[in-house]
Every structure is written in C-alpha cells, then in structure tokens.
Copies of this chain bind each other. A is one copy, B any other.
Amino acid sequence: MKAIEQAYDVFEDRCPTRLVLDRLADKWALLILDRLKSGPVRFNHIRRDIKGISQKVLAQTLRKLERNGLISRTIFPTVPVTVEYALTPLGRTLTDTVSALTHWAEKNMDAIFAAQRAYDEAYAD
C-alpha cells in the first residue's frame, strides 16, 4: 500500500499533480487560504482584509479553490444575500504548510531585500 504514495511525481510533465501545483502556487490563493484559517469569512470581508485584491481575481480564485475542494461556499438568503467561504477538511490539511510559507516570507524579508540590493549593485551597468 505504501508504494501508492509515490505514484505521482511533480517533476513529470504529464503528471496531474502539476495541475494541482498550478492552482496552489498562486499568491492570492495562498493569502486567501491563510485568511480563512481562523474561520468562515464573507466575500467583501476577504476583499477588505486582503488589501489590493480586485473583485475579479478574488471571485476567480475563490471559485478555483472551491472547485478543488479546498474551500466551501455557503449562501445565506439574508438581505442582501450573504455568502460565506470556509476551509473544508481537505483545505485544513493545507493551512499549516501555507502559513509556513507566508510566515517564512515575513521573517526573511530583510535577508531577501539585502540580497536584492547586492544583486542589483553587482549587475548594474
């Protein structure tokens, strides 16, 4: 049974994991997953929290995540209508990894900016 775990290989072109990675490796998707970690959130709430995301991209990304089973979409017939997005159990298995990524970025910012300055100086012409 253990062999099945390695049935897929990301490095293979035709491997379907590539399609998954394609959907996951997206700045907005990662930010949304990180934002949903603490509980269900509404569309415009996410939009206000994740500063700079456009409505179109938010709607597209939410739909992608929903289609891939990572988040759920629940409509409440209030007035005006309320739509709540939440992590599914599958989505929850991802959040630790996603948080690690975003927090790595927060922690290592300074090192990265130093590297950028060094690079730009070295290759300036």
Interface residues of A, Cβ cutoff 8 Å to B: 5-6, 8-14, 16-18, 20-22, 24-27, 29-31, 34-35, 49-52, 66-70, 90, 93-94, 97, 100-102, 104-109, 111-116, 118-120
**Pairwise interchain contact A21-B27, C-beta atoms closer than 8 A:** yes
CB distance from A117 to the nearest CB of B (A): 10
On whether the beta carbons of A109 and B34 are closer than 8 Å, the reply is: no
CB distance from A125 to the nearest CB of B (A): 15
Show 16 residue pairs from A and B whose CB-CB distance is below 8 angstroms, ordered by the A residue: A6-B106, A8-B109, A10-B102, A11-B50, A12-B51, A13-B52, A14-B51, A18-B27, A24-B101, A25-B26, A67-B119, A68-B112, A68-B116, A93-B104, A97-B100, A100-B100
Among A34, A35, A111, which residue has the most Cβ atoms of chain B within 10 A? A111
Chain B residues near A113: list those with CB within 8 A. 16
Q: By the criterion CB–CB under 8 Å, are A25 and B22 in contact?
A: no
Cβ-defined contact, B119 with A66, below 8 A: yes
Asked if residues B10 and A34 are in contact (CB atoms below 8 Å), the reply is: yes
A29 to B105 CA separation, bound complex (whole angstroms): 14
Which residues of chain B come closer than 8 Å to A35, judged between CB atoms? 11
